[in-house]
Chains A and B, each alone.
Chain A
Amino acid sequence: MAAAVQIETVNITINDIEIAVPKGELIVEAVKRLGLEIPIFCYHPRMKPVGMCRMCIVEVGFKQPDGTVRKMPKPQAACTLPASEGMAVYTDTEMVHRDRKGVLEFLLINHPLDCPICDRGGECPLQNNTLFYGPSTSRYVELKRHAPKAFPLSKYVTLDLERCIQCGRCVRFTEEISGDSELAFRFRGANMQPSTFELRDFESKFSGNVIEICPVGALTSAKYRFRARPWDLETKPAVCTVCSNGCNVWFDYRVGKMVRINGRTNEGVNEEWTCDKGKFGHEFYNSEDRLLTPLVREGDQLVPTDWARVYSDVIRAFANGGDKVAALGGAANSNEDVFMLNRLMTGIFGTKNLDHRFERNLVTGVGEKLGVSEVQSTIASLEDAPSMLVFGTSLADELPIVFLRVRKAWFKNGAKVVVAHHAPTDADSFAEVILRYKEGTEAAVASGLLSLLVSAGKAQVPAATADAIKPFTPEHVEQLSGVPAEKLRVAAELLEGAPIITTRSMYNQASGVDALEALAGLAMVTNGKFNCYSLQANAEGATLLGTKEGMHTHQILNAAAAGELKALWLVNVDPFALYPDRELVQQALENVEFLAVQGTVASEAMHYASVVLPQCAPAEMDGTYTNVERRVQRMRPVLKPKGSTKPGWNIFSEIAVRLRPATPFFNPGEVMAEIAKENPAFEGATYDKLPAEGFVIR
């Protein structure tokens, strides 16, 4: 049994009730242990307390040796006050009530009270606190402070300075969490206002979060403004499928339409944050380009048809296709979809030509080759790492939420982060060492790091490897890559036990595979953790549940281009967007005899399609997704499927049944049970067992 962690506690009283709390715990948190609540505005548990708004004022005293309590002459802000032995806190005295009223009166005198047309109305902390703690009338008869309304700070964020209560949450968010410091207070006193530099475009990659943490309607979403009243919205938990991070979100909708996305707390994944790509990336749910009905080609046209027609066309083209048929995609589909696709292709159509990867280099999966896992760190575990290597990725763009966690490790725990990339990245701002190499020299840099550790006698590698990396002395690496030898040495010193973070985009680099091998080796010799994170919503699931035996993407496309494929199925993927060689894609799609395009919105590939299978969007179906850290998370249906769209698993299953009659799966839960049966790694992910926060595959 692990040794219990000793937490030093202190004895305090809250409203004369005795309680032991961890030493130094903020009083605003400590009172929650008794089910009490202290009203707040500026305090946010994930940011440093500042004590600006004074809403959380409480009376505080200290127990004297004779048992009496000596109160401090002034009331104190609970959000900044750490608990100490003998402290006596009073949250419910006449003075506290008067002071809360006073603070709210002050906040309201310059607040426009345009609640009837304010987006925040109905879910506004200022409204709520006023209701419970505020004065019922105002004594203010002077002119209110006026400021421009509805200022477009960015394409996502609208600023209404009149409503601002200067709590500084947004400013602190950009300083402490996202780290871009794009917002700051300007001017002072009553004129103080949060703003970007010269009120220019608010470019933060995480700007949407400030809308959610603003305790009033000062920062509102340009996309959501005036679209709904919060009480008219229905809200359900969902998982963001825009990238592979698998952020937990609240999916707000109204009469069957997505209205907005808000962050939902999952300490293991996104804490409570979202990135702008995710928060504002769900517009496709309401897109006019949604595919709503099956289509079939008639001459130059794709014309609406029914599922029966499409199924029979597909079956005619694919049945008994063997090596002459193939499927591409699936990394954005649920685990259940991918599993059923695999079953259909391998079990019914008899082909193993199935791939979801589109990187330039697919011949060798490094993890497979070296027998190591390509995902060794959970997102949350990064927070506690004393040092890290971020290699070959602009993390804030590729994996925004992983980026936030890496930054938090630095900001909160002082982690030393080595950032290696060919271009400037957002992580440079907190990097301990930046290794800026010439693009294409990734392998040299990675080998250089490995070589340094080996030659310093810090690590043992097989003789062949040792020979291979020997030439990569720091000086040689400097010549090749432009990274100063000294920097490489400093970086190498920091890598003991460090998680190494890189992404699958490394497979796009010419020397990427060699670099990845060196990095994997590096992790082995430093007792570090090797992570080559994938980038699509369920790429991990597709990898775990897919097949690796048939043709891979290049071979499939080449075969198609050469006219050697009879039929190709594009499963929820746009190869034009993902594949590096556009021309090959075009040739492939032109020359394949039968092209089935399955997806949720219209894509370029549809121009070549023989049939189009409309698939419902993730929030319109039940299913699980395996995120970047191999956490399986379930998203229950939020909306009804649009038009005659169907879930992917259902499409594959219905086709399979037509060819080989069997009891079909009626719901994705049954599919997951089947997955777990075949693939024990998913044992904890069956619907009856899957916890709300997801299940991480080890």
Chain B
Amino acid sequence: MSELTQIGSINERPRIPTRDEVELNFSDKAITELEALKTHYPELKACILPTLWIAQREYGGFLSGEAIAEVAYRLQRSYAEVEGVATFYSMYNTAHKPGKHKIELCTCLSCHLCGTYRLRDFLKEKLGIGHGETTADGLFTVEEVECLDACDRAPVIQVGDTYHGPVDEGYLSKLIDDLRANPESTVVKMADEMVKVHIRASER
């Protein structure tokens, strides 16, 4: 937003889309899942979190403004409200499009004690990226995260829906090579898994 913020700039902002202008991109599968979710709660609003997971999957791992607008539209909430919810939680990718594989490095207490920052330096060297950055080829995003609560496996990392730990430089090196060879996006897979566990057997 910084480029728009000089004093004296005209007070004209892009409009909020009207309901008719929202682009709807959810797949049939997503709509079925959403309909199932709606029956779990007495209020549509409660579907916001799981629906954001659906959107994160449907929009390729990134909750863009369009994705948030679609969620708001489908749940009849205000766009700002849904954006507020999405940006509150660290696992929704709202800032920018993440790489295909998100390497989440726990840097919290136990991992910290067990030398996790060395691994961060290693990743920086190996991939050339630091916290919150994505490689130029769009394959990897590295994030330093708070406690993953697997302190017995410290230092621990999470890639998609899998925990790895304790990891060292050698392990990381091999993991990165494996991920490079893997066509499946762990970011999208994670979102898909997140959605799946919400759905009862009878609703599948």
Contact present between A and B (CB < 8 A): yes
Q: Which A residue sits closest to B89, measured CB to CB?
A: A188
**What 0/1 readout, one digit per residue, does chain A (171-186) give for beta carbons within 8 Å of chain B?**
0000000001111111
Minimal beta-carbon separation of A199 from chain B (angstroms): 5
Chain A residues 131-156 with CB under 8 Å of chain B are 148-156
Of the candidates A148, A155, A197, A222, which one forms a contact with B80 in the assembled complex, judged by CB atoms under 8 Å apart? A197
Of the candidates B1, B7, B69, which one forms a contact with A199 in the assembled complex, judged by CB atoms under 8 Å apart? B1
The answer to whether the Cβ of B65 comes within 8 Å of any Cβ in the partner chain is yes
Complex contact A182–B13 (CB within 8 A): no
Q: Which B residue sits closest to A222, measured CB to CB?
A: B11
Note all chain A residues with C-beta closer than 8 A to B77. 181
The answer to whether the Cβ of B182 comes within 8 Å of any Cβ in the partner chain is no
Task: Tell me, in angstroms, the Cα distance from A156 to B1 when the chains sit together.
Answer: 19
Complex contact A200–B16 (CB within 8 A): yes
**What 0/1 readout, one digit per residue, does chain B (1-36) give for beta carbons within 8 Å of chain A?**
110111101111111100000000000000000000
Q: Which B residue sits closest to A153, measured CB to CB?
A: B13
Minimal beta-carbon separation of A273 from chain B (angstroms): 19
Of the candidates A149, A151, A158, A197, which one forms a contact with B79 in the assembled complex, judged by CB atoms under 8 Å apart? A197
Complex contact B16–A203 (CB within 8 A): yes
Q: Which A residue sits closest to B14, measured CB to CB?
A: A200
Note all chain B residues with C-beta closer than 8 A to A222. 11
Note all chain A residues with C-beta closer than 8 A to B80. 181-184, 195-197
- Interface residues in B, total, Cβ within 8 A: 26
Chain B residues 116-156 with CB under 8 Å of chain A are none
Minimal beta-carbon separation of A665 from chain B (angstroms): 46
Task: Tell me, in angstroms, the Cα distance from A201 to B13 when the chains sit together.
Answer: 5
Task: Tell me, in angstroms, the Cα distance from A207 to B83 when the chains sit together.
Answer: 20
The answer to whether the Cβ of A187 comes within 8 Å of any Cβ in the partner chain is yes
**Given A148-B5, A150-B5, does the pair A186, B84 have CB atoms closer than 8 Å?**
yes
Note all chain B residues with C-beta closer than 8 A to A155. 11-12
Complex contact A184–B10 (CB within 8 A): no
Complex contact A181–B81 (CB within 8 A): yes
**What 0/1 readout, one digit per residue, does chain A (337-368) give for beta carbons within 8 Å of chain B?**
00000000000000000000000000000000
**What 0/1 readout, one digit per residue, does chain A (190-212) give for beta carbons within 8 Å of chain B?**
00000111111111000000000
Task: Tell me, in angstroms, the Cα distance from A675 to B164 when the chains sit together.
Answer: 87
Chain B residues 51-89 with CB under 8 Å of chain A are 65, 68-69, 77-81, 83-84, 87-88
Note all chain B residues with C-beta closer than 8 A to A181. 77-78, 80-81
Note all chain B residues with C-beta closer than 8 A to A197. 16, 65, 68-69, 78-80, 83
Minimal beta-carbon separation of A279 from chain B (angstroms): 15
Of the candidates B7, B12, B83, which one forms a contact with A198 in the assembled complex, judged by CB atoms under 8 Å apart? B83
Note all chain B residues with C-beta closer than 8 A to A151. 1, 4-5
Complex contact B13–A148 (CB within 8 A): no
**What 0/1 readout, one digit per residue, does chain A (50-61) give for beta carbons within 8 Å of chain B?**
000000000000
Complex contact B11–A154 (CB within 8 A): yes
Complex contact A184–B84 (CB within 8 A): yes
Note all chain A residues with C-beta closer than 8 A to B78. 180-182, 184, 197
Of the candidates B4, B7, B9, B16, which one forms a contact with A196 in the assembled complex, judged by CB atoms under 8 Å apart? B16
Of the candidates A180, A185, A187, A199, which one forms a contact with B13 in the assembled complex, judged by CB atoms under 8 Å apart? A199
Q: Which B residue sits closest to A199, measured CB to CB?
A: B1
Task: Tell me, in angstroms, the Cα distance from A195 to B83 when the chains sit together.
Answer: 10
Q: Which residue among B65, B68, B79 has the maximum number of chain A CB atoms within 10 Å of its CB?
A: B79
Q: Which B residue sits closest to A189, measured CB to CB?
A: B88
Note all chain B residues with C-beta closer than 8 A to A150. 5-7
Q: Which A residue sits closest to B79, measured CB to CB?
A: A197
Note all chain B residues with C-beta closer than 8 A to A198. 14, 65, 79, 83
Task: Tell me, in angstroms, the Cα distance from A222 to B83 when the chains sit together.
Answer: 25
Minimal beta-carbon separation of B80 from chain A (angstroms): 4
Complex contact A152–B16 (CB within 8 A): no
Minimal beta-carbon separation of B135 from chain A (angstroms): 25
Note all chain A residues with C-beta closer than 8 A to B7. 149-150
Task: Tell me, in angstroms, the Cα distance from A150 to B80 when the chains sit together.
Answer: 20
Q: Which B residue sits closest to A181, measured CB to CB?
A: B78
Minimal beta-carbon separation of A7 from chain B (angstroms): 33
Note all chain A residues with C-beta closer than 8 A to B79. 197-198
Task: Tell me, in angstroms, the Cα distance from A86 to B11 when the chains sit together.
Answer: 54
Chain B residues 81-108 with CB under 8 Å of chain A are 81, 83-84, 87-88
Minimal beta-carbon separation of B180 from chain A (angstroms): 33
Q: Which A residue sits closest to B8, measured CB to CB?
A: A150
Chain A residues 202-237 with CB under 8 Å of chain B are 202-203, 222
Note all chain A residues with C-beta closer than 8 A to B83. 184, 186, 197-198
| Subset of 14 A-B contacts with CB under 8 Å | A151-B5, A156-B11, A158-B11, A181-B77, A181-B78, A182-B16, A182-B78, A183-B80, A186-B84, A196-B16, A197-B16, A199-B1, A200-B13, A201-B12
Beyond A152-B4, A197-B78, A200-B14, 16 extra complex contacts between A and B, CB < 8 Å: A149-B5, A150-B5, A150-B7, A152-B11, A153-B11, A156-B11, A180-B78, A181-B80, A183-B80, A184-B81, A196-B13, A197-B65, A198-B65, A200-B16, A201-B12, A203-B16
The 10 closest A-B pairs by CB, nearest first: A181-B78, A148-B5, A184-B84, A197-B79, A152-B11, A201-B13, A184-B80, A197-B80, A155-B11, A186-B87
